[in-house]
Structure 1
Amino acid sequence: MTTIALYNLKGGVGKTACCVNFAYLSALDGYKTLLWDLDPQGSTTFYYQVKPKLKGGIKNFITQASDLEEAVMNTDYDHLDIIPADQSAKSLDVMIEEMKHSRKKLKNVIHTFKKDYDFVFMDCPPGLSVLAENIVMAADIILMPVIPTTLSARTYEMVKSFFKEKELDPAKLTCFFTMVDLRKNLHNEIMETLYKDKHFFQSYIPYLSDVEKMGIYQAPVEVFARSSYAAQCYRDLWAEIKEGVL
């Protein structure tokens, strides 16, 4: 089982859209895939049109060692299950901080799915916190979308510093560019600079209207616009990610 966490320090970088599409493409490839929506905003849950079937959700799993499998729900797509978001995730940082061995709490929870899934994707909330440490400890890969702008590049450097400060494995950090507009000189310049960093994939996701339409269709791009350029970009990037994982 390979666990991939879509994470960034800041929001609004296309993280959830990428997580939704990569999980779907994984399932489309025939891999048994679980998508866990850890973000209290619940955008991934919205895209897959599901609602939590248990109250207290993540709080119960973390604090009471409840059976996480009870929260897993089917989606409308073969090979793809989801653990939907719920409001209890808002206080997840506090709950984990109060526990012993808190850095590995999420890892121990995810380990229960080892025999059931080939890939686990986590849509993670933004921020540098004890939850972020848990995510890094639990995931095999931290997949970070980066907009090629000055502030987003600065955020990338802050995340690298966070890894160093907390003595987290820097080899887990992999990145790709998202919301790219090659008509902008700044985007081209930043991409050229950061591509020299070994952490970045070559494929990227442009700023495209079909990605924004995910909210209208409540579905991955591949479902409603399979022949589009946006769908092709997600397929290309997923192929590159798989090559690095398998």
Structure 2
Amino acid sequence: MKIVASYNVKGGVGKTTAAVNLAYLSARQGSRTLLWDLDPQGAATFLFRIKPRVKGGSGKLVRGERPIDAALKGTDFTGLDLLPADFTYRNMDLDLARAHPKAKKAARALSRLLDDLAHDYDVVFLDTPPSLSLVSENVLHAADVVLVPIIPTVLALRTYDQLAEFVAGFDRDRPALHAFFSMADRRKALHREILATLPRERDGISPTAIPALSVIEQMAVHRAPLPVYAPRSPATRAYQSLWTELVGLLGVEQAGATPQR
């Protein structure tokens, strides 16, 4: 089982959009796929038309009083399951610290929870809240690959550099970072310059750019992944390109495509 986190300290940069579309593409290509919506706002859960509720909430899940597989929900799409958000996830930092007083154990608690699903899924996506917290540290330790959406601006790149420096300090469980450009607007000179130069100059930055298009914003209207309602959109092609890159990083085998619903 491979674990992919969609993470950035900043909010509103396309983390959930990436997690939802890539999880869908993973399942469509035949991988048994799970998306865990760790954000208490529950955007990914909303997009999949599932109620944002986990019985017992964050506390029971973290303490192991409720099996993680009991919280799983099926989606409308073949091969894709969801572990929904819950508003109590806003307290998950405290729940982790209370359940595991030793710092190193607390930082790897979510990884141990996911171990129970290793025989059930090929790929797990983690949609994370925008924060620097014990939850995000858990996510970084659990993930094989961390996808980092960055808007093509100088300050966004600085945030990515800070994340890379933090991960480089891990003594083990160090994920691969794979940044990609999100909300790219080629009408802006700065965006064009960064898109043209950074992938060549820096390791770990994808040449794929997700364009700033209104069709992506319509996910909240259609409540479906982009390839379902806009299969020919340039944005869909960009996510498909990003998925192909991710397949190479994870080393997962792609089976034949499965039905959309």
- TM-score norm. by structure 1 comes to 0.95
Match of 1:172 in 2: 176
Give the one of 135, 146, 150 matched to 1:146: 150
Match of 2:79 in 1: 79
The question of 1:238 aligning with 2:243 is answered yes
Amino acid at match of 1:220: P
C-alpha separation between the residues in 1 aligned to 2:113 and 2:174? 23
Shift of 1:109: 0.3
Q: Is contact 2:58-2:95 (8 Å) kept?
A: no
Q: 1:14 to 1:139 in 2, by over 3 A?
A: same
Match of 1:89 in 2: 89
Match of 1:17 in 2: 17
Match of 1:219 in 2: 224
Match of 2:123 in 1: 119
Amino acid at match of 2:125: F
C-alpha separation between the residues in 2 aligned to 1:176 and 1:170? 19
C-alpha separation between the residues in 1 aligned to 2:115 and 2:186? 41
Q: 1:171 to 1:192 in 2, by over 3 A?
A: farther
Q: 1:167 to 1:146 in 2, by over 3 A?
A: farther
Q: Is contact 1:203-1:240 (8 Å) kept?
A: no
The question of 1:182 aligning with 2:186 is answered yes
C-alpha separation between the residues in 1 aligned to 2:239 and 2:59? 33
Match of 1:109 in 2: 113
Q: Structure 1 unaligned runs (5+)? A: none
Match of 1:44 in 2: 44
4+ long deviations beyond 3 Å = 164-171
Structure 1 residues 175-200: Cα deviation after superposition (integer angstroms, max 9, x where no partner): 11111011211112223443121111
Deviates more, 1:191-200 or 1:12-21: 191-200
Match of 2:152, SS state, is coil
Match of 2:33 in 1: 33
Q: Structure 2 unaligned runs (5+)? A: 252-261
Q: How many residues align?
A: 246
Structure 1 residues 89-122: Cα deviation after superposition (integer angstroms, max 9, x where no partner): 0011122123131111011001111000010001
Shift of 1:140: 0.8
Shift of 1:64: 3.6
Q: 1:168 to 1:199 in 2, by over 3 A?
A: farther
C-alpha separation between the residues in 1 aligned to 2:163 and 2:141? 14
Q: Is contact 2:7-2:130 (8 Å) kept?
A: yes
Structure 1 residues 46-84: Cα deviation after superposition (integer angstroms, max 9, x where no partner): 000001454333321102442000000000000000011
Amino acid at match of 2:187: R
Match of 1:116, SS state, is coil
C-alpha separation between the residues in 2 aligned to 1:90 and 1:168? 27
Please provide the CA RMSD for this pair: 1.6
C-alpha separation between the residues in 1 aligned to 2:176 and 2:66? 29
C-alpha separation between the residues in 2 aligned to 1:135 and 1:34? 15
C-alpha separation between the residues in 1 aligned to 2:92 and 2:107? 13
Q: Is contact 1:73-1:81 (8 Å) kept?
A: yes
Shift of 1:161: 2.6
- TM-score norm. by structure 2 comes to 0.89
Percent identity for Structure 1 against Structure 2: 41
Match of 1:7 in 2: 7
